[in-house]
Structure formats: C-alpha cells, structure tokens
C-alpha cells in the first residue's frame, strides 16, 4: 500500500516538474542560438580593439608579444618599401617575435640616404587593421610595448659573395634558439631589408601585403580619385548614348556600374634610360615600350564595355611628352591627373603617398595593364591575383573572370598584351622584385 502511495507521489512530482524541465531546455536552446548569432559580432569588435593593450587572451598564437625585432629605416620606392616591410615581418615571424613598427621614407632618394624624409608606418598604413587582418600570422608592435630598455642584441646581416642564402638562414635559426633569444629586442643592422636574402614563398608575401590597409585619410583620397574617374566614365556614356541617337538613353545600360582601365604607363625619361640599358645588358627586347606601342596594345583589350575611361598612372613631372591622352582608339577616353582634375590631391602629398594612392587606384580597376619589369605593376598584379584566389579563380586564361591584368610589354598569343596572373606557387619573390617577361595567366 505504501509502495502504491509512493508511486502515485512520484508521478505527481513528475507531472509538476515536466513543464520546468521543458522551460529549462528551451532556455538552453535559446542561449545556444543567441551565442551563434552574437559570436561573429564579438569577433569583429575584438578585431577592432588595439592589439597592444594587455590581455589575458593569446590573440597572436605563435607570435610572441613580449619579444621584438627592430629593423633600419625602410627606404626607396613605395613597392620596394612594401617588399622590405614584408621581408622584415616574415623574418620576425620566423623568430617568433613581433616587429617593432618601422619608419618608412616619404621622399625618394636612391643614394642620398642622409636626406631621406622618415614617415611613421601608421601615417601610411592602418596599424590596427594590419594586426586584425594578420591575426595569428604576423604582428606589429609599438615601441611603448618594450619594457626592458637595456641594449638590444645586434644582429649584423652579412654581405658579399660568401654570405649565401644558406648562411643567412642558419644565422636566423641560431638567433631563434641561441643567445639572441634571451634579449627582448633583436636589432638587425647593416643592409636595408629589401636586400636581405629571401627565404619566403610568394604566398607568404601575398598574405602580408593583404594585411596592409591605407590609413583612413589616405584611403579617403583614393576614393576621391576613383569617384572622379567614374564620373568621367558616366559622362562619356551619356554623351555616347546621345550621339548615337538612341531611342531612349534609359534603356538599362546607363544603370550598369561604371568601369575603368588603369594603365601603369612607364614612359618617363628616367625609366626609358633605365630600361634601354637593361635591355642591352640582358639581351632582352621586351622591357621598354613607347607611348604608341602601349596605346596600340591596350586598344586591343576587349574586356570592358565602351566607351571606357583609361586612367594613366604616370609620373607627370618626369614626362617629356605631355600628349599621353591623345591618339587613343574611339571609345577609349584617356585621363591623367591634370585632365581628371585631381592634381591638388596629389600635390599636397609627399612622394610615398602619391604612389600609394596610384597603387590603389590601379589595384581596384576593372582591368589593369602594366609592365612586367615594373615592381609597381608586379605588386598590383599580385594583389589582384590574391583577390581572384579568394574568389576561387586560379586562372584567367581565355576567360572573362573580372579583375583582368595584362602586361603591355609582352605579346600574347592573340597578338595583344599578355594576360597576367602572379604565380602564387613560386618559392621566391625574385621575379616580382626585379621583373621578368616569363609571365602567363596559368
């Protein structure tokens, strides 16, 4: 009898607790769903925080935040500086250290190093975005993070024929585990980082370059220039529609995105002297191109709807021929800085920032055409190839995949400019740093 009463009592309790259990389950499920929704936003907020604030979390696994590498001031042209910076980053990564934010060079002097105008890295590129994008791969640090102000360990980069790539790598390996690792800061002395022996594959350089975002005020200038180009393209479309006496200029074509071609036109007097000497020395005939040759090659590109604006990224002050915007085929309207009305944007900037603006205008173009012996052009194509790889495109041969790139100095199979993608499997940046005519679309 007592057993039956206990059984009834248990059933009664079960009936009472069932709604409570259901509610608990619903709460747990709700929390799981809420976490799934909120987590991405928390991750975004975390990435926007300053990465030099103390934290109990290891935000940079594999890259120590208490050990640093310091390098000399980075010099020469924008793209040589970007390569030097990436090489310094990858060296610091190999040593499992953060790279102390280096000083770049705003002015361009190849020999008068004492006259180079230094400019902080974060005046050109966004420090916080770099660390957010390179999270877990490489890390930049500020000098305020160095707590031990004793003399750093000085690591002298070797030079001369006897200093081989193997010896350099062996030196780095010893610095990773030997006496040098006991120091908070390793200060690399001697050669400019661009000239350091190269140990890293192209894909690692591409990763570092992909982490670089322009500082906000420089990015704003890029947006202004591209906006001017697209305004010119829209105007050209309207004028073409009216001149062809279309029944309706509102037939849908005018609502399509405005496209543009960017051409890194290397015909400045300093380049022509340099490339002709290069051709003679290397016994190659595909380095230099005249204005007429470039116009002829670019005119054969059929990737875009015409009329289309052709933006000429050229160092105007070094031009001997000021007629670069004339002679283009019908439907291709060429603009340089003066004709576009953006000279004021460039004139208020030092050399390095002018080049950085032009680089981004070219990198974001619908079609880019450059010279395969130009470091500028090579890094633009590397940037565009990296973007195509992210979209799952590993070849542009015979395809209209968008973000097309061409080399006007190399003749393609169809007689026009050679389609061009960076070989992301290359084990060295040698060909990109110094140029080659051995390029393809894979």
Distance between CA atoms of residues 62 and 152, nearest Å:
22
Q: What is the pLDDT of residue 30?
A: 57
Asked if the bond preceding 307 is cis, omega within 30° of 0, the reply is yes
Query: CB burial class (10 A; 0-12, 13-18, 19+) of residue 337?
Result: buried
**Residues 191 and 221 both lie in one domain:** no
Residue 50 included in any domain = no
Least Cα distance to 418 among 383, 372, 385, 373 occurs for 372
Domain count, the chain: 2
pLDDT(5) > 80: no
- Read off the pLDDT of each residue in 54-80 and give the average, rounded to a whole number: 77
Whether residue 283 is found in the same domain as residue 419: yes
Give me the pLDDT at residue 114, please: 58
Residues 129 and 249 in one domain: no
- The answer to whether position 208 is within a domain reads no
- Comparing 46 with 101, the larger pLDDT belongs to 101
Query: What does DSSP say about strands 103-105 and 118-120: parallel, antiparallel, or unpaired?
Result: antiparallel
Single out the residue in 198, 229, 247 at which a domain terminates.
198
CATH of the domain at 81: 3.40.50.11340
| 320: containing domain | 216-434
Could you say which DSSP state residue 294 is in?
A: H
174/69 Cα distance (integer angstroms): 15
Mean pLDDT, residues 296-302 taken together: 92
Query: For residues 250 and 107, what is the distance between their CA atoms, to the nearest angstrom?
Result: 48
Distance between CA 139 and CA 128 in Å, rounded?
Answer: 10
CA distance 437 to 431: 9
The tens digit of pLDDT for each residue in 238-271 reads 888 887 765 445 556 667 889 999 999 988 888 8
The Cα 393–Cα 307 span in angstroms is: 27
In a shared domain, residues 399 and 344: yes
Choice between 311 and 4, residue whose per-residue pLDDT is larger: 311
**pTM of the predicted model, to two decimals?**
0.83
Q: What tokens were used for 258?
A: 């405005």
Q: In angstroms, how far is CA 303 from the centroid of its own chain? A: 24
Q: Do 282 and 184 fall into the same domain?
A: no
């Amino acid at each position: 009898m007592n057993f039956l009463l206990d059984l009834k009592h248990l059933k009664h309790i079960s009936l009472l607790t069932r709604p409570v259990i259901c509610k608990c389950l619903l709460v747990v499920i709700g929390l799981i769903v809420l976490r799934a929704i909120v987590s991405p936003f928390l991750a975004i907020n975390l990435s926007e925080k300053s990465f030099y604030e103390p934290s109990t979390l290891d935000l940079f696994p594999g890259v120590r935040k208490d050990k640093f590498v310091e390098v000399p001031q980075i010099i020469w042209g924008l793209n040589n500086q970007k390569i030097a910076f990436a090489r310094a980053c990858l060296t610091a990564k190999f040593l499992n250290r953060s790279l102390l934010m280096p000083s770049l060079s705003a002015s361009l002097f190849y020999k008068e190093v004492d006259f180079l105008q230094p400019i902080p890295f974060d005046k050109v590129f966004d420090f916080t975005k770099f660390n957010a994008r390179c999270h877990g791969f490489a890390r930049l640090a500020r000098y305020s993070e160095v707590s031990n102000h004793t003399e750093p360990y000085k690591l002298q980069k070797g030079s001369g024929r006897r200093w081989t790539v193997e010896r350099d790598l062996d030196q780095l390996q010893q610095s990773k585990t030997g006496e040098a690792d006991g120091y908070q800061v390793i200060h690399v002395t001697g050669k400019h980082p661009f000239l350091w022996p190269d140990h890293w594959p192209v894909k690692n350089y591409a990763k570092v370059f992909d982490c670089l975002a322009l500082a906000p005020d420089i990015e704003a200038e890029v947006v202004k220039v591209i906006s001017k180009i697209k305004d010119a393209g829209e105007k050209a479309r309207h004028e073409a529609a009216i001149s062809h006496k279309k029944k309706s200029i509102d037939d849908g074509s005018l609502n399509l995105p405005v496209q543009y071609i960017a051409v890194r036109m290397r015909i400045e007097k300093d380049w022509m002297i340099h490339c002709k000497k290069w051709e003679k020395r290397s016994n190659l005939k595909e380095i230099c191109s005249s204005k007429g040759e470039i116009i002829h090659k670019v005119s054969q590109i059929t990737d875009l709807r015409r009329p289309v604006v052709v933006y000429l990224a050229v160092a105007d002050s070094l031009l001997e021929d000021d007629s670069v915007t004339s002679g283009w085929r019908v439907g291709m309207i060429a603009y340089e800085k003066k004709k576009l009305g953006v000279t004021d944007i460039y004139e208020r900037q030092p050399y390095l920032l002018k080049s950085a603006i032009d680089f981004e205008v070219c990198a974001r173009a619908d079609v880019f055409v450059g010279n395969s012996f130009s470091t500028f052009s090579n890094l633009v194509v590397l940037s565009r190839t990296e973007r195509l790889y992210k979209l799952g495109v590993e070849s542009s041969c015979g395809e209209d995949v968008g973000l097309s790139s061409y080399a006007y100095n190399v003749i393609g199979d169809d007689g026009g400019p050679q389609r061009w993608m960076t070989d992301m499997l290359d084990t060295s940046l040698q060909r990109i740093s110094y140029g080659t005519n051995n390029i393809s679309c894979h």
